[in-house]
Amino acid sequence: MNRTVFVNGEYLPETEAKISIFDRGFLMADAVYEVTSVLDSKLIDFDGHALRLKRSLDELQMAEPCTKEELLEIHRKLVEKNGIEEGLVYLQVTRGSDGDRDFVFPPADTKPTLVLFTQNKPGLADSPAARKGAKVISIDDIRWGRRDIKTTQLLYPSLGKMMAKAAGCDDAWMIEDGHVTEGTSNNAYFVKGGKIVTRPLSNEILHGITRKAVLRMAAEAQMEVEERLFTIDEAKEADEAFTTSASAFVMPVIEIDGVQLGDGSPGPIAKRLREIYLDESRKAAI
């Protein structure tokens, strides 16, 4: 593969892209990111991702690398240059480097590092994984306390996915103080008696862009939604469950900790929400 990527103002072949070894993104995970999906060569919910990026940067007192309009142009150019019809645009901003390692932030005028690259994923929308549904396990949530900031500290979520794989499953839901927080890379929901239940927004979970859109669409479709804390046992007794994320949209969950939900196939509400989400998102894509 030889993608064209974007690094600090330049479009380059991926093999020629360079970042300093002193970059704080590399040394300290002092970095935030966004992932925007691409369908029909257009960006899904770009505004939502740009807004959350700004919030993550503000929370960490990190400078904005460029304007929202410039970011949009870079996204679009990369989609075009790499011929992406279905896939993802990954964006990362780091606090940059002043040429050494120090816990103290570098001077405020240090230029942030901006990197973007595409991932080509034909069949992202019509995904066999979504038709089958995902099996999840539950694990302790031992991440830091500011999960609302989308940092690149992804070692524990990555270990969580590996724990799931080792158990013959697809993903893990994390549990803190007896309640489910979220999936390793998605927000978590269950459905019981027609009601969709998901954890309310707080610093304990990422404020998913897909979550926001899906909850709005569920309300518009007259589905009942309750935002409250829930346990893994409640989820195991549910009629169905699902997750949401920009990279997998609405993903049905068919098994939790070895307990099959319903008849073990994707539930009707998850399937319907996936359809509505894909349909509405394609229409609003830019």
**Could you give the residue numbers annotated as active site?**
150
From residue 109, give the alpha-carbon distance in Å to each of 28, 31, 106, 283: 19, 16, 8, 40
Q: Which chain residues interact with ligand PMP by CB under 6 A?
A: 35, 182, 185-187, 206, 208-211, 244-246
Structure token pair of residue 165:
């794989």
What are the backbone dihedrals phi and psi of residue 70, each rounded to the nearest 5 degrees, phi first? -65, -40
Crossing angle of helices 209-220 and 268-284, rounded to 10°: 110
Q: Using CB atoms within 10 A of its CB, is residue 262 exposed (0-12), middle (13-18) or buried (19+)?
A: middle
C-beta of 35: minimal distance to ligand PMP in Å?
6
C-beta of 228: minimal distance to ligand PMP in Å?
18
AA identity, residue 284: A
**For ligand PMP, which is the closer residue by CB, 97 or 274?**
274
**For ligand PMP, which is the closer residue by CB, 25 or 97?**
25
Cα–Cα nearest to 77, from 3, 1, 11: 11
**For ligand PMP, which is the closer residue by CB, 214 or 223?**
214
Q: Which residue has the tokens 């539950």?
A: 138
**For ligand PMP, which is the closer residue by CB, 20 or 153?**
153
Where do the H-state alpha helices sit in 61-113?
68-81
Structure token pair of residue 164:
């799931």
C-beta of 251: minimal distance to ligand PMP in Å?
11
C-beta of 104: minimal distance to ligand PMP in Å?
28
Where do the H-state alpha helices sit in the chain?
24-28, 46-59, 68-81, 128-132, 155-166, 209-220, 232-236, 268-284
**For ligand PMP, which is the closer residue by CB, 113 or 281?**
281
**For ligand PMP, which is the closer residue by CB, 79 or 149?**
149
C-beta of 52: minimal distance to ligand PMP in Å?
7
C-beta of 23: minimal distance to ligand PMP in Å?
22
| 3-class SS shares of the chain: helix, strand, coil, % to 5 | 30, 30, 40
